[in-house]
Structure 1
Amino acid sequence: MNPHADHPLAPPLDLAGDRGGFASLGPAFFTRLDPTPLPQPYWVGISSSVAELLDLDAQWMASDEALQVFTGNACPVGSRPLASVYSGHQFGVWAGQLGDGRAILLGETTEGLEVQLKGSGRTPYSRMGDGRAVLRSSIREFLCSEAMHALGIPTSRALCVTGSPAPVRREETETAAVVTRVAPSFVRFGHFEHFAARDMQTELHALADYVIERYYPACRTAPQPASNAYAALLQAVSERTATLMAHWQAVGFCHGVMNTDNMSILGLTIDYGPFQFLDAFVPGHVCNHSDTQGRYAYNRQPNVAYWNLFCLAQALLPLIGDEGVARTALESYKTVFSTNFMAQMRRKLGLADAAPADGELIDAILLLLAREGVDHTIFWRRLSHAVARHDFAPVRDLFLDGAGWDRWLLSYSERIAQTDKAQSGDLMLKTNPKFVLRNHLGEQAIRAAKLGDFSPVQTLLHLLEHPFDEHPGHDAWADFPPDWASSIEISCSS
């Protein structure tokens, strides 16, 4: 079946194809193939903000024409779809060749955004998989991509989810779905590892030059490290990744599968598989049921990211030419992470400037939250209102150890007294979200969707697109998780 012939598409979606995008790197980097069609597609959810980003008309987005395109049953004008090849370390072990096993890049818009279908069928890199995604995981990725963007965290975006009654076998038989993902680039650490591991120096050089020219042009003129553009690239990626980790840690986000092939060269959050926003603040929490060793526990994420960057450094070493220079390029990671994490935490506390004792104040509240397993999101939101309203009783109610809370509050009160409390409260309410994509909220939306009711998906999307607003009448969506939430298992199977 040729999807190009069956559903010819006129603009508005016009992709640039090979005109200077990833495909210009040549056939060593990808395989050309069309998505595999799905029967009886239907809409599950649409992000109007991403549609506007792509300059897609709302009426067209609601059409059958668009539905066919974003299910993989038709291809847009200018599109020459492809799946890219990469390698990587998975759970700390070299896995060899991987690649887009169920993702197909439709092309790039004239504004430089890549449009990719996830769940669009088998590719040469599927490794015995079916190339499909299920409704469950697709809804989670769609919602979380947009939630993270609204929180100000670098991420790929999600335009829409479409579903199909086509069966997909996982732990049980589920139904198929396709997520349309959007990002400036889906190049990963694993792309560099792939060509370095095969001693394909020409391709490695071409990939690095492409990334520098397109996304890091300042690396060509960077004075450090050692006036080496490839070392400067490594340093820039390290610093973006450090900033991303600071965002994750501050908001309580667990990625769940931080393999090198899931790490963006642009410092974006990508590949939402098993993930979770913390309910109780448990630093050692492991959200991925498949992660039996706890490698990607919440509190290990910053160090894992650094380990992944070291793998990237090894891949780039043939271009950098000096191991010492490569190590120097990684040195700023810990400083940038620490600086950005402290800045994020000060904002969460309503502190517009820095003071010497802030580190002790932050460490003390994190230890107290961890000792009692206090709900992470609710604590920070209540603290925000407490500062704004000068009433800390609702926050104290979260702690069994009232005396411990009182001691910390005394120190915090002395510190916050140095600020304008109205401004501090306003800063906190714009920093500490009321709504995050908790596992049980996603699960409720998924259960409804499986019964054909997609309204909870759209309601949740609206709340997550404006996570700092109060949304009167929706307080239940920001309440404590029900007891059954702790039994939800999220794994790599999607």
Structure 2
Amino acid sequence: MIAPGLPAATLLLEQLPFSHSFGSLPPAFFTRLQPTPMPAPYLVCASEAAAALIGLNPAELTTPGFAETFAGNRILPATQPLAAVYSGHQFGVWAGQLGDGRAILLGEVAAEAPGGALEIQLKGAGLTPYSRMGDGRAVLRSSIREYLCSEAMAALGIPTSRALCVVGSDQLVMRETPESSAVATRLAPTFIRFGSFEHWYYQDKTSELKTLADYVIARFYPELQDEAKPYQALLTEITRRTARLVAQWQAVGFMHGVLNTDNMSILGITIDYGPFGFMEAFDAGHICNHSDSQGRYAYAMQPKIGHWNCYALGQALLPLIGEVDDVHAALAGYADAYQEKIDELLHAKLGLQRREEGDSALIDGMFKLLQDNHADFTLFFRRLGDLQQSNPAADSPLRDLFIDRAAFDAWVAQYRLRLGQESSNEAARRAAMHAVNPKYVLRNYLAQVAIEKAQDKDFSEIARLQKILEHPFDEQPEHERYAALPPDWASQLEVSCSS
């Protein structure tokens, strides 16, 4: 939805009112450059919902100029393309200078978002000074995955960058094998990361560090400007948002895969979709990223890594905050913020209206049951919503997810007793649970099917999957197979940092 006073979705591309707040920072923060054109670009997919956020007329999405623009071949006069510099810790190791190695920011457009605008960024638009050993390109495979997941996460209500479109080309780039290239266009209030602050801290450039912090506070956290200790307050708020975001990931079974500090947003939104995954057969130790040989970013590790990354940000902000104790005080809120949010979400997922003393044992027992039986995470919660409180004979669809039926029967008996404690209304509970437990998530095999068709220039499955994922909580009986258990071959799929 467009904020009051902002244009409806009627703008032509040439009418997009670009501004350049990040580009107004000193030159040390970025390099101005033009995207590298792609040969014969073609539109793979585009999101009308994302276009509406910036007031873009949906009819523009199908014009030849649209693909040319978001391939980087056609430069709108109001844009001021640039690539930002940042650094970061990767897999827990200081990696030094990184930066937008294949992403180019065009500017920002007014929208209902923090800061009142959304930045428009081309991912895969060619070499930049920060490309290091890379080629500056993204591949079609990873671009489709990022596009679908960005829009799916938004529909799930999880804070995220958005995806406007993917533009492809027959130009080949080398990964493990030659792959066709693509550009994904991303939208976010800002792409400033934890690593953006680390960059200046590790270069011992406090003036630039302060400039960046002041910009972030003024634009995205103006309520903190009058705080006695604004930089501590900034760290406190980023820490709180990060904790709540990770709780939302855990509750829906989302695994990011690469929680490096350069992939962590200072707004507490999900960015940089690479080797992500949604939990299927439940395993708390599941590693969705084939490149993560040590399991640093396994599902169960995400809350701890979120906290670790906030500590890295706290270290970077120490010269501004001044006192180590003040940094620790800001970081101390992570655990409570995470626990409060995950408790809220799990109670909602279980259809429990209030918290009782024995709930922790019930929830711990549930996760042990899921772990021991490797039950499908999404199907378990969805089918649990259909549980009939007074009719155990109707439990078969849910019970069939478990090998140890006796253990399931024992846990579900406890669950029924807990529902009885608050005189739960069955119809109301079912509606409430189905409103928070999705039926449809972006399973890896669904994305893979869409990708393989797209590689043959058939983009229909992307469009179909996107439409389904835009309404993840609806029954959609005509799409029942998209909510089924994954086929056997799906367990062989691997995604890595090259994804």
- What range is the shorter-chain TM-score in? over 0.9
* Equivalence for 2:128: 123
1:289 and 2:290 are equivalent in the alignment? yes
Cα deviations across residues 21-65 of structure 1 (Å, max 9, x unaligned)? 111112110000011000111111111101111111121111011
Cα deviations across residues 303-334 of structure 1 (Å, max 9, x unaligned)? 01111110000000000000000000000100
Query: Aligned ranges for residues 10-409 of structure 1 at < 5 Å?
Result: 11-18=13-20, 21-111=21-111, 112-222=117-227, 227-387=228-388, 391-409=394-412
Computed over aligned residues only, the root mean square deviation of the Cα atoms, in angstroms, reads 1.4
Larger CA deviation: 380-389 vs 103-112: 380-389
The AA in structure 2 aligned to 1:256 is: G
The AA in structure 2 aligned to 1:24 is: S
The AA in structure 2 aligned to 1:411 is: Q
1:447 and 2:452 are equivalent in the alignment? yes
State the distance in 2 between where 1:425 and 1:76 align: 50
Larger CA deviation: 401-410 vs 163-172: 401-410
Cα deviations across residues 444-486 of structure 1 (Å, max 9, x unaligned)? 0000000111000000000111101111221111111111111
State the distance in 1 between where 2:257 and 2:15 align: 34
State the distance in 2 between where 1:13 and 1:102 align: 26
Q: TM-score, normalised by structure 1?
A: 0.95
In the alignment, is the contact (CA less than 8 A) between 1:51 and 1:159 conserved in 2?
yes
In the alignment, is the contact (CA less than 8 A) between 2:79 and 2:107 conserved in 1?
yes
* Equivalence for 1:6: none
State the distance in 2 between where 1:387 and 1:32 align: 61
State the distance in 2 between where 1:298 and 1:13 align: 43
In the alignment, is the contact (CA less than 8 A) between 2:41 and 2:169 conserved in 1?
yes
State the distance in 1 between where 2:456 and 2:144 align: 14
State the distance in 1 between where 2:171 and 2:389 align: 51
State the distance in 2 between where 1:143 and 1:79 align: 26
How far the C-alpha of 1:12 sits from its partner, in A, is: 4.6
In the alignment, is the contact (CA less than 8 A) between 2:255 and 2:276 conserved in 1?
yes
CA gap 1:13/1:356 in 2 versus in 1, 3 angstroms: farther
State the distance in 2 between where 1:421 and 1:364 align: 23
The AA in structure 1 aligned to 2:199 is: H
* SS of equivalent residue, structure 1 residue 196: helix
* Equivalence for 2:419: 416
Identity rate of aligned residues, in percent? 54
State the distance in 1 between where 2:202 and 2:388 align: 54
The AA in structure 1 aligned to 2:443 is: R
Cα deviations across residues 200-247 of structure 1 (Å, max 9, x unaligned)? 11110010011111111222234xxxx311001001000000000000
State the distance in 1 between where 2:490 and 2:264 align: 28
Cα deviations across residues 254-273 of structure 1 (Å, max 9, x unaligned)? 11100000000000100000
Structure 1, unpaired ranges of 5+: 1-8
In the alignment, is the contact (CA less than 8 A) between 1:237 and 1:266 conserved in 2?
yes
In the alignment, is the contact (CA less than 8 A) between 2:12 and 2:56 conserved in 1?
no
State the distance in 1 between where 2:99 and 2:13 align: 30
State the distance in 2 between where 1:389 and 1:26 align: 66
CA gap 1:209/1:220 in 2 versus in 1, 3 angstroms: same
Cα deviations across residues 263-287 of structure 1 (Å, max 9, x unaligned)? 0000010000000001101000001
In the alignment, is the contact (CA less than 8 A) between 1:281 and 1:375 conserved in 2?
yes
* SS of equivalent residue, structure 1 residue 385: coil
State the distance in 2 between where 1:127 and 1:17 align: 29
The AA in structure 2 aligned to 1:480 is: L
In the alignment, is the contact (CA less than 8 A) between 2:389 and 2:416 conserved in 1?
no
* Equivalence for 1:3: none
How far the C-alpha of 1:11 sits from its partner, in A, is: 4.3
State the distance in 2 between where 1:394 and 1:125 align: 52
State the distance in 1 between where 2:484 and 2:361 align: 30
State the distance in 2 between where 1:211 and 1:171 align: 38
Structure 2, unpaired ranges of 5+: 1-10, 112-116
State the distance in 2 between where 1:58 and 1:271 align: 25
In the alignment, is the contact (CA less than 8 A) between 2:16 and 2:109 conserved in 1?
yes
Larger CA deviation: 409-418 vs 440-449: 409-418
1:435 and 2:440 are equivalent in the alignment? yes
State the distance in 1 between where 2:109 and 2:77 align: 11
State the distance in 2 between where 1:173 and 1:247 align: 36
State the distance in 2 between where 1:106 and 1:455 align: 29
State the distance in 2 between where 1:218 and 1:303 align: 28
State the distance in 2 between where 1:78 and 1:125 align: 24
State the distance in 2 between where 1:394 and 1:12 align: 53
The AA in structure 2 aligned to 1:48 is: E
State the distance in 1 between where 2:75 and 2:61 align: 15
